[in-house]
Structure 1
Amino acid sequence: MMYHLQKFLLLHLLTCLRQNALGSEIIHGKKAPDDLMLYMASVQNNKGHVCGGFLISEDFVVTAAHCDKNESTHVVLGTHNLKKVDNGTTTDVIKRCKHPRYVNRTCGNDIMLLKLSRKVQLNNRVQPIQLPRADNKIKVKGKCRVAGWGLTKTGGKVVDVLQVAEVPIVNPAVCKREWKEIRVNLPDDVICAGGYDTNKGFCQGDSGGPLVCGGTAAGVVSFNMRKNCDYPNVPNIYTDVSKNLAWIKGILKKKDC
């Protein structure tokens, strides 16, 4: 029995590692208003911006687990313009809490919490975003928002000013079918939005940013199809925050992972 279980887990791991899907920038978006999306975080290392993220409490930021490879050292909060960064907008990361079941972004659990070195001051420039309920339901074709500082087209350039785009929710059955046609079996803890039947979505550079639906952080930018941002192709994939709530709340409660 144990042998068969180990064999199954090994096959699952190999399947995940073979599936090659990457992604994350805002396509056909517009400049985000300065007085909105005050939860947005630029996750950075010593070379600058590497991923997006969003503030959920005074001392924790959510991003994608696959961003861990960039070894983030700090986050920028309180400005939408990455040319306007100083000691007042920068907070060090002292611990990266990657989901314990994360293996590869196409296998699910692509979510990570960053513990900040200090509690950030909440004001008219910095505010946390509300988390969804565990029974969160998102209407198919409902409109949500995604934002980030990534590329604006395939092979394009990154931007200094936060961009935001409105993206429609894609039917989960349709999404799974489209991805299966390119030999990727989607995990269960994902939301599909944008990148399909629309010219809007994300591409490289915005991983970890939020999918905002009804004022809550419903999803985390995870991956698209092999860095191809020439939409429409296949739906963009986000980690479903509502299916990771117990894990998130456990970390927030003990202030550690």
Structure 2
Amino acid sequence: MHCLSLALLLLLLCSRAEAGEIIGGTECKPHSRPYMAHLEIVTLQNRLASCGGFLIRRNFVLTAAHCAGRSIMVTLGAHNIRKKEDTWQKLEVIKQFPHPKYDDNAFLHDIMLLKGDSGGPLLCAGVAQGIVSYGRKNAKPPAVFTRISHYRPWINEVLKQN
């Protein structure tokens, strides 16, 4: 079983588990997953929310479309988002690219690209295969993931244009 970083698990599960609780995860060596991103979101209702994401290019993060908001701050280089470290990079998202067919009522096409001066992956053999879309409140299976490979043409087009 591939380990996921503590930061990823906290990010992906914080809305589904008690604060600080990790369900079914193991802590990885600090900073062994440098592509992981924490998203601090100001929602359209001016509430604070969090999501996970991951770098797919130097200045693009892939995440779930339901993580869109009024503004998003990306933190990179964090092992535990609750403990500030010198490795942190905080960058403001300058543009959000939710998939054009995203349906927030049905969680269809729940994928989004973020671009600035810079919904957590499903990893199989170290390769990102999906983005967490939704799951049970206790974070136990089953969970639903958006399959990344289906969206490669759209991802490549947005990356090419930006």
> Is TM > 0.5 for Structure 1 vs Structure 2?
yes
Could you tell me which runs of 5 or more consecutive residues in structure 1 were left unpaired when the two chains were aligned: 1-23, 120-207
**Corresponding position of 2:146:** 239
SS at match of 1:38: coil
The 5 Å alignment of 1:181-196 reads: none
Q: CA RMSD in A?
A: 2.3
**Corresponding position of 1:75:** 74
Moved over 4 A (4+): 46-49, 85-88
**Corresponding position of 1:213:** 124
In the alignment, the residues of structure 2 paired with residue 88 and residue 50 of structure 1 have an alpha-carbon distance, to the nearest angstrom, of 16
- Same amino acid, percent of matched pairs: 43
SS at match of 1:250: helix
Residue 81 of structure 1, CA deviation: 2.0
SS at match of 2:150: helix
Which of structures 1 and 2 has the bigger CA Rg?
1
**Corresponding position of 2:34:** 38
Q: Is the contact between residue 107 and residue 133 of structure 2 (CA under 8 Å) also seen in structure 1?
A: no
Greater share of helix? 1
Q: Is the contact between residue 41 and residue 67 of structure 2 (CA under 8 Å) also seen in structure 1?
A: no
Normalised TM-score (structure 1): 0.49
Residue 35 of structure 1, CA deviation: 3.6
**Corresponding position of 1:64:** 64
SS at match of 1:244: helix
Q: Is the contact between residue 42 and residue 49 of structure 1 (CA under 8 Å) also seen in structure 2?
A: no
In the alignment, the residues of structure 1 paired with residue 107 and residue 149 of structure 2 have an alpha-carbon distance, to the nearest angstrom, of 17
> Is the alpha carbon distance of 1:250 and 1:85 closer, same or farther for their aligned partners in structure 2, counting shifts above 3 Å?
farther
AA partner of residue 79 (structure 1):
A
Q: Is the contact between residue 34 and residue 80 of structure 1 (CA under 8 Å) also seen in structure 2?
A: yes
In the alignment, the residues of structure 1 paired with residue 48 and residue 108 of structure 2 have an alpha-carbon distance, to the nearest angstrom, of 27
In the alignment, the residues of structure 2 paired with residue 55 and residue 222 of structure 1 have an alpha-carbon distance, to the nearest angstrom, of 17
> Is the alpha carbon distance of 1:49 and 1:66 closer, same or farther for their aligned partners in structure 2, counting shifts above 3 Å?
closer
Q: Is the contact between residue 224 and residue 237 of structure 1 (CA under 8 Å) also seen in structure 2?
A: yes
SS at match of 2:154: helix
Residue 50 of structure 1, CA deviation: 0.7
Q: Work out the number of aligned pairs and report it.
A: 138
AA partner of residue 77 (structure 1):
L
Could you tell me which runs of 5 or more consecutive residues in structure 2 were left unpaired when the two chains were aligned: 1-11, 14-21
SS at match of 1:34: coil
Q: Are residue 252 (structure 1) and residue 151 (structure 2) matched? A: no
Residue 222 of structure 1, CA deviation: 0.6
Identify the structure with bigger relative contact order (alpha carbons < 8 Å, sequence gap 6+).
1
> Is the alpha carbon distance of 1:35 and 1:238 closer, same or farther for their aligned partners in structure 2, counting shifts above 3 Å?
same
Q: Are residue 29 (structure 1) and residue 28 (structure 2) matched? A: no
AA partner of residue 44 (structure 1):
E
Normalised TM-score (structure 2): 0.75
The 5 Å alignment of 1:1-257 reads: 24-25=12-13, 26-45=22-41, 50-68=50-68, 70-82=69-81, 83-84=83-84, 89-104=89-104, 106-115=106-115, 117-119=116-118, 208-225=119-136, 227-229=137-139, 231=140, 235-255=142-162
Residue 29 of structure 1, CA deviation: 1.1
AA partner of residue 76 (structure 1):
T
